[in-house]
Structure 1
Amino acid sequence: MVQAWDHDPPGSDKLVPFGVLELTTGLLTLIFGTRECSDFWGDCMTLWWEGVRSRGVRRLVVYLDNGPRNSGVTRKFLRRMVQFADWSGLEVWLVYYPPYHSKYNPVERCRSSLQRKWNGVLLKCWNVVRVCALRMTWNGKHPSVQHIENPYDHEEPVTNAEMKQINARLQRSETLAKYHIIIKPLKPRGR
């Protein structure tokens, strides 16, 4: 039995969850990393896509909150999404919930299901987190659970010249420019 204090000191390691919920199939992928940043987001999307790319998808619609790491104006995030679109060959649609409305994003309900599975469990290592995550179900199915160990110590800044090239690739909605962005790959998938 693991002993714990009533108020544990901060852990030396931190795991950040990232979830991809495929609305058409109900399949959930959970990826844990050490730090939430734009590069982590990009790596998670790449890892997820490597596992599902055989399904014939050509367009990916990503529903997002408008957090500081993934907003439609965050340079590093937009760079990673353009890189992902080019690498995967997918047309990527970034669709944002208005401020304070992310509770309507179905993946947020997955997070509460996960929290119920590890409620009261001392999350002392990756193995314990993995087992708790594998125990949860969403729509009667267990999630795919993965781990990225990259510490993401340094992210390269996006220069103004690079941002100009990125902005040229973004198709923003005329009426909802901050909330609906389309990124077309340089070479579309399957063509």
Structure 2
Amino acid sequence: MASKCQPGLVQHLREEIETETAGSPVNVGQLWTNRSTRELSEVMAERGFAACPNTIDRLLREELGLGRRQAVKDRALGQCPDRDAQFKRIAELRRSFTCWGQPVISIDTKKKEMLGNFYRPGTARTDGLVHTLDHDFGSVGNGKLIPYGVYDVNANEALMALAQGSDTGELVGDAIRRWYHRMGRYRYGGANRMLVLADAGGSNGCRVGLFREKLWELSRDLGMSIRVAHFPSYCSKYNPIDHRLFSHVSRSLKGIIFRNVEAVAEAIATTKTSTGLQVKVEVMKRIYERGIKATENFLMGNFIRPDDEIPKYNYKTIHYQ
């Protein structure tokens, strides 16, 4: 082996890469390099060692324990003081609503996408080439697509509402309404309460008046109380819809060119998992406008009741008890 025939090779290889820090000099002792094996082979040759790129690759893996890894997105931007308490509260609410056969839904907006003949990552089997524009200019596209998801946590079913315009509280209310009339009422026809799990920010954020008003209108129309529990700030990845729906939808959309809404809807509708996930798609005909605020009547009225426990993240409509 090269490491035995050439004493000092591994040590010199270590010295060459241990000054690199992956942009984080505080990780003392952690080895990291993005240099190619060919480049490292040439550097070792300058130091008097004969090691081809394949040998360098083997030494990095077997002698220094360096595997190929990507960066992991697991560091929160900040810390919420109510984090643990709110997670416990959400768990309690989920158990209670599930025990009594009441719906528990998780809502959120998936990544917005431009419509048009634009390149998207992913591969597909084809007997030819798929040609797209060489620049992603929105001015030559057909607008922006907003995929909004409503995921039934216990039934493992979801509705994906595909809308255009802006991501607003009106879209949230319409998406939940569509989910209930198309899917929810058949499973929860006798329910008088609904639990909604949402992120703390965005169109369904904990401080968005329009979102609260549209939930109040929905509770009035459906004749049920709607309780909302927001995940703490910086904890959106824990929202069930993110890892139980959106990750699978992303897989279905790999290699798909978003030329029009119908192509996206057809691809999302094929989403399935071994655990029985079912996804239905609704193309929203309305164009949602930016800048619409909650009405004065709602803001001045007493239509939302905050909880005594962490009221910032927990509240309910008060039409029906």
Counterpart in the other structure of 1:146 = 282
Counterpart in the other structure of 2:246 = 111
CA distance in 2, matches of 1:64, 1:91: 16
Q: Secondary structure at the match of 1:32?
A: strand
The structure number with the bigger radius of gyration is 2
Residues 4-13 or 35-44, more deviating: 4-13
Matched residue count: 185
Deviation at 1:7, TM superposition (A): 3.6
Counterpart check, 1:64 vs 2:198: yes
Matches within 5 A, 1:147-166: 147-153=283-289, 156-165=292-301
Counterpart in the other structure of 2:271 = 136
CA distance in 1, matches of 2:295, 2:280: 36
Q: Secondary structure at the match of 2:285?
A: coil
RMSD: 2.0
Q: Secondary structure at the match of 1:150?
A: strand
| Contact 1:39–1:155 (8 Å) recurs in 2 | no
Code of the aligned partner of 1:116: R
Counterpart check, 1:101 vs 2:235: yes
Counterpart in the other structure of 2:132 = 4
CA distance in 1, matches of 2:175, 2:193: 17
Structure 2 portions without partners, runs of 5+? 1-128
Q: Deviations over 1:100-152 (max 9, x none)?
A: 11111110111121112112221111121011101111432331111102112
Give the one of 203, 223, 226 matched to 1:92: 226
CA distance in 2, matches of 1:6, 1:118: 20
| Contact 2:147–2:160 (8 Å) recurs in 1 | yes
Identity %: 21
Counterpart in the other structure of 2:167 = 36
Counterpart check, 1:79 vs 2:213: yes
Residues 49-58 or 104-113, more deviating: 49-58
Deviation at 1:82, TM superposition (A): 0.7
| Contact 1:76–1:158 (8 Å) recurs in 2 | yes
Counterpart in the other structure of 1:173 = 307
Code of the aligned partner of 1:178: K
Structure 1 portions without partners, runs of 5+? none
Q: Deviations over 1:11-58 (max 9, x none)?
A: 322221111111121111111111310111111111111122243222
Deviation at 1:173, TM superposition (A): 1.6
Counterpart check, 1:127 vs 2:262: yes
CA distance in 2, matches of 1:21, 1:152: 21
CA distance in 1, matches of 2:315, 2:269: 33
Query: Under a length normalisation based on structure 1, what TM-score does the superposition of the two structures give?
Result: 0.87
| Contact 2:198–2:239 (8 Å) recurs in 1 | yes
